[in-house]
Amino acid sequence: MARFADVLTQLTRRLKLSTGERAALVDDFLDDAAMRLPTVRPVPRNLAGYLTTSFRRRLALDGRREARREAIQHNLLRDVGRGGERVVAETCSEYLVRLADGGGAEGASTGEPTGGSLEDLRGELTEVLRDAASEAEWKIIGWRGERMPYRDIAAMLGIAESTARWRAMRVRERLFGVAKRFIATLPTDEGIALVRSLGGVMLTVADERAPPTARAVRETVQQREGNEHRQLGRQGERDE
């Protein structure tokens, strides 16, 4: 997969990102693609074309999602957080009211996880890493947090790039499992807020046997993302 990195990096030139951030974006996409490709049917005949198209769609989806998030937040702050629209507050979910308040109302927050849930989750994940992660895996986590490319991490540790990727994915799957179980214990609004603060990454590992709260969180966000993926897919077919 690494041989496609240079081609994909060229597609990120217009993004307002540093060289390291662009390389990390490509690395993350290739990691996901490597895990997804064995299950793709039919098997892509042109791997380079398949990866290029998928990467373009991901960039487009990320851009639209960020623009939509900013627009929603702006409109909520403008129309609901002040003025007469507050009379409908009791019919809104607690999460939306907190987001609309923008921290201005008494006891309100900015739509971030409340009740210390983010701190609690951080503590849970730290315990897992302390007990299960090796020294090399701790280093990999820290370097990836700084968006260091896998090839540089491998050079620092004196291991193969594929080994560095495999270790990172192993730790990531372990942390996903812990986070998924923790989110399932939260009230639905709190779970949605926490998932959003994590960029929705927990939704990629949720399963149908998850508790009701986890399913509600997944369905609330994934339904919208699924519609966006289908729209991008249709647009890509028309472009081709």
Please provide the DSSP assignment of 98-141 as one string: HHHHTT-STT--SSS--TTHHHHHHHHHHHHHHHH--HHHHHHH
Alpha helices in the chain (DSSP H): 5-10, 19-36, 47-79, 94-101, 117-132, 135-145, 150-157, 161-183, 188-197, 212-239
Q: Is the dihedral of CA 204, 28, 56, 46 positive or negative?
A: negative
Query: Could you tell me the pLDDT band of residue 232, with boundaries at 50, 70 and 90?
Result: low
- 37 contacts: CB under 8 Å, gap ≥ 6: 44
Would you state the pLDDT for residue 12? 84
Range with the lowest mean pLDDT among 7-16, 110-119, 187-196? 110-119
Q: Which of the pair, 1 or 168, is modelled with greater confidence?
A: 168
Give 88-120 pLDDT, tens digit per residue: 444 444 444 454 444 444 444 444 554 456 667
Under DSSP, the state recorded for 238 is H
Would you state the pLDDT for residue 158? 87
Domain-wise residue ranges, the chain: 1-68, 80-111, 113-240
d(CA 143, CA 149): 8
Would you state the pLDDT for residue 108? 41
Instruction: State pTM to two decimals.
Output: 0.37
